[in-house]
């Protein structure tokens, strides 16, 4: 009997993957807005509609931010007599279906929140043992996306399974509802915090998965998240990716340079980009970061779904990791060339130098045009190496390098990494 259950479960997961591949749903990272970090439980339908209007009027929808998500606290504290989740009758007096219809009419997709335990993290009804019922409710309400959290876990003697099993229950519900409605499947975003190595199994169930605890609007939190995820970049690709948590631009104590680093790292690591800022207070500086179309284009690259990865891991002499000072030198392929992120993790300005072929995506013996993705300028040609001078404390440089042909003749030594090279007669080259 157990083997039959396993086979059926595998078939359900395969079916869900097939639906995703057929229609492209969930192929690229989500760009949008989430209510939690700015408002927590202080939400209602008026706030959601005003936020949608601001996303449009501020030009964020045109930049690609087309997802508007309600987080925790939208429900009544108790289910209905029939066992259904009920939207708060005061704060969502028009009903969720009316709200999602209005949001959709403005050109947005919209998301909702629940939990794999008895209760949500704020103490509202969770979905454990009600997965199919709740997913049908969310679908009937018109939602396109579900953030699925990990609080209030039932006792082991009740679940008799680990966290994978609890998320499997909701993933199966997604497939069953999709089959019955014939609509696109609701995207499932796992808010699991990484305690059970979710990056190893999350792609079976969700479009994204949280890898760390909650973000805080300060540099130490950003550095910790960047450092942790620098070891997990291979888990991200089309249809599934590490989620570094919401964007905190304009919140807390982040400087302008730290905000640029925050956005660059999240975007180039192909994390979902969900704004967590009060849009009514957003500054033009923050908007200029969020609407950097060259950075966003790499996050939304239709050809390459993989994250950038480090080619040096820290500030120690042998480039080994130091969690307070994450990797500074990153690169990855794009449809238009090789992207580099140079991240100054020090508390003072720093000059960052590297040999081009330290990146596995660069060919030896070639020269590369250099595009600065923040100044939006062409910065000459790089041959063998590149130097970024005076990068601000906690600042970033983002570059797109394109192959423009063979490097000039007569460069000595014959190799940029000269101590690795040997003439065909066996003698060392350069020195």
User: By the 8 A CB rule, do 340 and 330 touch?
Assistant: yes
pLDDT band at 8 (very low <50, low <70, confident <90, very high): very low
Task: Give a yes or no: residue 319 inside a domain.
Answer: no
Q: Is the per-residue pLDDT at 403 higher than 70?
A: yes
Any long-range contacts for 212-217 (C-beta under 8 Å, 24+ apart)? 212/244, 212/245, 214/245, 215/37, 215/244, 215/245, 215/246, 215/248, 216/248, 216/252, 217/248, 217/251, 217/252, 217/253, 217/254
Distances (CA, A) of 150 to 38, 159, 167, 224, 240: 21, 14, 9, 21, 19
Task: Give a yes or no: residue 197 inside a domain.
Answer: yes
User: By the 8 A CB rule, do 114 and 166 touch?
Assistant: no
Task: Give a yes or no: residue 183 inside a domain.
Answer: yes
Task: Give a yes or no: residue 194 inside a domain.
Answer: yes
Distances (CA, A) of 326 to 146, 242, 373, 388, 399: 31, 17, 21, 18, 19
Task: Give a yes or no: residue 310 inside a domain.
Answer: no
| Number of CB atoms found within 10 A of residue 348's CB | 8
Q: Is the per-residue pLDDT at 3 higher than 50?
A: no
pLDDT band at 23 (very low <50, low <70, confident <90, very high): low
Q: Is the per-residue pLDDT at 2 higher than 80?
A: no
pLDDT in tens, 338-354: 999 999 999 999 999 99
Q: What average pLDDT does range 160-183 have in this prediction?
A: 95
pLDDT in tens, 309-339: 999 988 888 887 787 899 999 999 999 999 9
Active site residues: 149, 214
Q: Average pLDDT of the chain? A: 92
Residue 373's pLDDT is what? 98
Whole-number percent of the chain with pLDDT over 70: 94
Task: Give a yes or no: residue 412 inside a domain.
Answer: no
245 contact partners, CB below 8 Å, separation of at least 6: 210, 212, 214, 215, 225
Q: Is the per-residue pLDDT at 122 higher than 80?
A: yes
Residue 394's pLDDT is what? 97
Residue 420's pLDDT is what? 75
pTM for the predicted model, two decimal places: 0.94
Task: Give a yes or no: residue 2 inside a domain.
Answer: no
Domain with residue 275: its CATH number is: 3.20.20.70
> Per the structure, how many domains does the chain have?
1
Domain extent for 56:
31-300
Q: Is the per-residue pLDDT at 69 higher than 70?
A: yes
Task: Give a yes or no: residue 367 inside a domain.
Answer: no
Which residues is 403 bridged to in the sheet?
Answer: 368
């Amino acid at each position: 009997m157990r083997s039959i259950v396993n086979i059926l479960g595998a078939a359900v997961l395969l079916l869900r993957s097939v639906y995703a591949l057929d229609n492209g749903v969930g192929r690229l990272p989500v760009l949008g807005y989430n209510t939690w970090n700015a408002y927590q439980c202080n939400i209602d339908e008026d706030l959601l509609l005003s936020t949608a209007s601001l996303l449009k009027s501020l030009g964020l929808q045109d930049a690609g931010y087309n997802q508007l998500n309600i987080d925790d606290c939208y429900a009544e504290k108790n289910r209905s007599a029939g066992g259904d989740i009920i939207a708060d009758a005061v704060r969502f007096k028009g009903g969720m279906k009316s709200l999602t219809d209005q949001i959709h009419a403005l050109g947005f997709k919209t998301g909702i929140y629940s939990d794999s335990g008895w209760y949500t993290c704020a103490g509202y009804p969770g979905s454990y043992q009600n997965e199919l019922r709740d997913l049908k409710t969310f679908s009937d309400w018109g939602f396109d996306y579900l953030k699925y959290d990990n609080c209030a876990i039932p006792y082991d003697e009740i679940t008799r399974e680990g966290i994978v099993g609890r998320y499997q229950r909701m993933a199966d519900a997604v497939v069953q509802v999709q089959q019955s409605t014939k609509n696109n499947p609701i995207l499932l975003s796992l808010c699991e915090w990484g305690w059970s190595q979710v990056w190893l199994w999350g792609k079976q169930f969700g479009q994204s998965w949280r890898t760390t605890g909650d973000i805080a609007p300060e540099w130490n939190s950003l550095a910790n998240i960047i450092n942790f995820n620098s070891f997990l970049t291979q888990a991200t690709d089309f249809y599934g990716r590490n989620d570094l948590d919401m964007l905190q631009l304009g919140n807390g104590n982040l400087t302008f340079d730290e905000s640029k680093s925050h956005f660059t790292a999240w975007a180039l690591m192909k994390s979902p980009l969900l704004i967590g800022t009060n849009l009514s207070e957003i500054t033009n500086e923050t908007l200029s970061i969020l609407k950097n179309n060259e950075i966003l284009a790499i996050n939304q690259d239709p050809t390459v779904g993989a994250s950038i990865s480090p080619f040096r891991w820290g500030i120690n002499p042998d480039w080994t990791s130091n969690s307070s000072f994450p990797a500074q030198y990153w690169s990855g392929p794009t449809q238009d060339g090789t992207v580099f992120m140079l991240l100054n993790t020090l508390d003072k300005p720093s000059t960052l130098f590297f040999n081009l072929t330290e990146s596995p995506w660069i060919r030896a013996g070639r020269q590369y045009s250099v595009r600065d993705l923040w100044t939006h300028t062409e910065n000459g040609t790089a041959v063998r190496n590149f130097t970024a001078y005076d990068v601000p404390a906690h600042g970033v440089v983002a570059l797109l390098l394109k192959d423009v042909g063979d490097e000039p003749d007569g460069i000595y030594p014959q190799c940029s990494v000269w101590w690795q090279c040997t003439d065909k007669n066996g003698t060392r080259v350069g020195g």
